[in-house]
Amino acid sequence: MTKRILIVDDDRNIRGLIRKVLEREGKYEVAEAEDGKAAEEKLAGFRPDLVVLDIQMPGEGGYETCMHIRSLAGRKKIKIVGVSGVSGKIGDAIMTALGADYFFEKPFNNSQFTHKIEELLEEVEA
């Protein structure tokens, strides 16, 4: 069964780069959202197994979106990977406290990123 990944980032170029890295693996269905509000709208229809979530976005940012995903019944199994180019260790600590499964600081190593995504998605199957 193909795993679904939702990429949430306000920067279209970053979304495209992450999509390209994930699609290169050839085993994921990938969708995109430009902010937290758009991500919440996609959650029900797309039903992702994992969300790659940027922290700093206009409107509803990554922290709020992470809390929203974790507060919904039935959404506990969705894996959340926080990403940020500016928040560093503080962003990591906050995202973890809010229920994220992992955090990457931008720019990240593509092979480490895809390895961690694969590892987290294996947990979804277990």
Cis ω for the linkage preceding 107 (within 30 of 0): yes
Which numeric CATH code is attached to 3-125? 3.40.50.2300
Question: What is the SS3 assignment for 53-74?
Answer: EECCCCCCCHHHHHHHHHHCCC
pLDDT for 65: 94
pLDDT for 91: 80
pLDDT for 88: 65
pLDDT for 104: 93
Whole-angstrom Cα distance, residue 44 to residue 69?
11
Whole-angstrom Cα distance, residue 49 to residue 3?
6
pLDDT for 120: 96
Average pLDDT by stretches of 10, the chain with 126 residues = 94 96 92 94 91 92 92 79 81 89 92 96 78
pTM of the predicted protein model = 0.93
Q: Helix axis angle, 36-46 relative to 62-71, nearest 10°?
A: 30
